[in-house]
Amino acid sequence: MINLLVLKETLESEKRVALVPGEIKKYSDIGFKVTIEKDAGIKSGFLNEDYKKQNANISQNIKESIKESDIIIKVQKPEPSIIKEIKAGKVELRVDKDGIIHTICGKASFGAEQILENILVIYDTVIKARPSSVKGTYLKKMTLSSTMGPGIKIDLATIR
């Protein structure tokens, strides 16, 4: 099961919420456990009870919910304190419209062992995020590249 957390917007002018109650069933049906930060939908006109009716959990302890979450969504950029919590042991994945996952596995200053360790964590994270309804090969290929550099194919058989 994949834990999805929806954070509350703190910017005063932001009235939107990243996930409305009516969309929760779509995520639950494909294997997500949805958690909503307490009062995340208030500015959009949604009560905590609206989310509970759709089988979402309401977080009373956001720091603990962040630690337990696999995916965290928010409309606006998170505050620095939330970013610090998110980055502590998390892998940030970005998926483009073609289903290609983009992520950072290191910096130029990292040694080969650190890069390899990070690649293994990324691989495990992607495999863990596989919805139970997906049939066949989930991760077809993996390529490592520097910014604007050529890609190097990674043999997935050596990772498994």
pLDDT mean values, one per 10 residues, the chain (160 residues): 90 93 91 94 96 95 86 86 68 77 81 84 82 83 86 84
DSSP string, 14-36: ----SS-GGGHHHHHHTTEEEEE
Same domain, residue pair 109 and 145: yes
Its domain, for residue 130, covers 94-159
For the domain that residue 51 is a member of, what is the CATH number? 3.40.50.720
Shared domain for 43 and 77, answered yes or no, is yes
Distance CA 78, CA 134 (A): 31
C-alpha distances in Å from residue 70, one per residue of 62, 111, 143, 148:
14, 27, 22, 28
* β partners of residue 32: 2
Beta-carbon contacts of residue 50 (< 8 Å; ≥ 6 apart) = 21, 41
Enter the pTM of the model: 0.57
